[in-house]
Structure 1
Amino acid sequence: MKQSLFTFIKKLREFLANKLNQYNTTLPYVITVIVALFIVVGGINLFVELTETLKTETLATYDTSITDYIISYRAPTLTSYLKFMTYVGDIYGYLIVLTIFLLLSLLVFKRWKYVVQATLILALATISNMILKRFIDRARPGIEHLVSVETLSYPSGHAMSAMAFYGFLIFLVTKFNIQKVIKYILIAVLILVILSIGISRIYLGVHFPSDIAGGFIAGFIWVVFCVLVFDLIELFRHDPKT
């Protein structure tokens, strides 16, 4: 993505230089940020469209059908696994993962900034989720809850944080210079973690499937936006023309 941004900025700079005799060298970056914001707004629009259908009969039917199908597989072993995954997507789970990631970043990759970036995305997802929950004010499903919950339902905080945090880790893995087999295994594991955390919330009876979909969309928006901004900042810092 960084190379694509670099190419876009280079072409934009050439275009502006041809059209304007003098222009601020930071202008291409400002325009790129605006384009990134438009991309994010498009994702937000998709999230809003889903939000507006929350009270429709059709969505309620899908929510019920999917939930009934998932909870029909309840069994002691699967319950233990999905309870574990839901704890992985909780605050203590992220503290453990962040600690491990910090050690790997300092000792192996020698790049502590990745931990700061991942923590920032997780914080943004968490704070925005709290705001969205209060704004939308959707109650939890009225079925048996296998874990205790205290907050509102939509969008799922677990799904949103998992997509934002582990989705960003997937992006980082694609950048790391490691063997392809290891890279593919790590990506597969991270995708499994994201999906398991999302499904666990339906399985445990604390979320509607649409809560999970909304959380995944919102979390993905944060990943795209932050990756664009992080890459843009790095390009700006190393650009000799700024």
Structure 2
Amino acid sequence: MRQALYAFIKSVHKFLAHIFHEYNTKLPYLITIIIALMVVVGGINLFIELTETLKTELLARYDSSITEYIISYRSPSLTSYFKFVTNVGDFYGYLIVLGIFLVVSLFVFKRWKFVAQATLVLALATVSNMMLKRFIDRARPGIEHLVSVETLSYPSGHAMSAMAFYGFLIFLVTKFDIHRIAKVLILTVLVLLILSIGISRIYLGVHFPSDIAGGFIAGFIWVVFCVLVFYLIEIFRRDSQT
């Protein structure tokens, strides 16, 4: 991805040089960022349009059947597990994970920027989720809630934040120079954690399955966008030093 992005920026350089004899050398980076923003905004608009068109009887049946299937497995042990998992995807859960990640980044990888990047991705997902909830204004499921909730339903904030935060950690782990078995183990745990957080919200009765799907999609958009921007910054700094 980095090579493709770098090649794209270089092609923009050549294109602008052909049209303009003198131009700001940072313009290609600005153009790339604008394109990335357009992609994200376009993705959000598509997400909203799809959300509006999916408010049909078919979706209601889909949500109902999946919810009934998942809650049919309710048991004291599973309830305890999913309550724990849903807390991992909540405010205090992220504080603990960020604290652990900070220690690992500082003392193992000697890089604090990873924590700053992960925190930024999480913040963007959280703020945008609140905006989307207010815009779409979907009520919670009318079934028994095993945990207390106060906000609106769509998209799921837990699912969106989990995909954005833990999804970005997955990206970072793929870059870390660690033992292959350890890397595979960490990646597996993170993937299972994302899925478990999403399922927990259905199991606990506080979200429709479509809420979770929407949250995962929106969170993934933020992961892709932030990875692109961070690569741009890295390339920009490298070019500035040469």
Compute the TM-score of the two structures, normalised by the length of structure 2.
Answer: 0.94
Residues 1-242 of structure 1 aligned to structure 2 (within 5 Å): 1-240=1-240
Which gives a bigger RCO, structure 1 or 2 (Cα 8 Å, sep 6+)?
1
1:70 and 1:130 map into 2 onto residues whose CA distance is 26
Report deviation, 1:198: 0.4
List per-residue Cα deviations over 1:87-130 (Å, max 9, x = no partner): 10010100000000000000001110111111111111111111
Q: 1:191 to 1:46 in 2, by over 3 A?
A: farther
SS of the aligned residue for 1:238 comes to helix
Report deviation, 1:12: 2.2
Task: Provide runs of 4+ in structure 1 moved above 4 Å.
Answer: none
SS of the aligned residue for 2:239 comes to coil
Aligned-partner residue type, residue 3 of structure 1: Q
2:97 and 2:162 map into 1 onto residues whose CA distance is 12
Q: 1:241 to 1:117 in 2, by over 3 A?
A: closer
1:28 and 1:108 map into 2 onto residues whose CA distance is 35
1:127 and 1:39 map into 2 onto residues whose CA distance is 19
Aligned-partner residue type, residue 31 of structure 1: I
1:137 and 1:99 map into 2 onto residues whose CA distance is 34
1:42 and 1:135 map into 2 onto residues whose CA distance is 16
Q: Can you give the 5+ residue segments of structure 1 that lack an aligned partner in the other structure?
A: none
SS of the aligned residue for 1:155 comes to coil
Contact residue 6 and residue 235 of structure 1 kept, 8 A: yes
1:142 and 1:156 map into 2 onto residues whose CA distance is 16
1:130 and 1:42 map into 2 onto residues whose CA distance is 19
Aligned-partner residue type, residue 72 of structure 1: S
1:35 and 1:179 map into 2 onto residues whose CA distance is 37
2:236 and 2:57 map into 1 onto residues whose CA distance is 49
Q: Which moved more, 1:231-240 or 1:150-159?
A: 231-240
List per-residue Cα deviations over 1:192-211 (Å, max 9, x = no partner): 11000000000110000111
Report deviation, 1:51: 1.6
2:25 and 2:184 map into 1 onto residues whose CA distance is 39
Q: Alignment identity in percent?
A: 77
Report deviation, 1:181: 2.2
List per-residue Cα deviations over 1:128-174 (Å, max 9, x = no partner): 11122122111110011111111111111100110110011011111
1:237 and 1:16 map into 2 onto residues whose CA distance is 20
Report deviation, 1:34: 2.1
Q: Which moved more, 1:26-35 or 1:56-65?
A: 26-35
Q: Can you give the 5+ residue segments of structure 2 that lack an aligned partner in the other structure?
A: none
Contact residue 132 and residue 155 of structure 1 kept, 8 A: yes
Aligned-partner residue type, residue 238 of structure 2: H
Aligned-partner residue type, residue 150 of structure 1: E
